[in-house]
Amino acid sequence: MGIYCKGKVRGEKGEVETEIFINSGSDFVLLPKKIAKQIEPKYVSEGEFTLADGSRVRREIYEIEVELEDSRGKRKRCKAHATIEEREDVVVGFEVLEKLKALIDAAERTLVFKD
């Protein structure tokens, strides 16, 4: 399941405000290459990941800051791990939802922070 919300991603050299896809089935943030170039995320390490089809890949891991806006206009932010991908949109997964105490309201297709 996924929804879109307003948000920002920040790296060591900048930030980008964008629509962010919230995918509850993902763990790490998936950061498009074009946004990574703008914000210059901090390199952390390399890790092995299992993709949805069961295949295993190695990816570089970066640290960024993610800021999300819920359906009431409230904003929260946290540090998160990201991989850089050839894609168009930023994808935020379970790690960020858990850190921000954010819930997906499936009926309304919105994001809500649990206060």
Digit-coded pLDDT (tens) for 31-69: 999 999 999 999 999 999 887 788 999 999 999 999 999
Instruction: State whether residue 34 is helix, strand or coil.
Output: helix
In a domain, 12, yes or no: yes
Parent domain of 30: 2-110
Q: Say if CB 33 and CB 39 are below 8 A apart.
A: no
Is the pTM here over 0.95, yes or no? no
In a domain, 33, yes or no: yes
Domain count within the chain: 1
CATH of residue 50's domain is: 2.40.70.10
Q: How far apart are CA 103 and CA 100, in angstroms?
A: 9
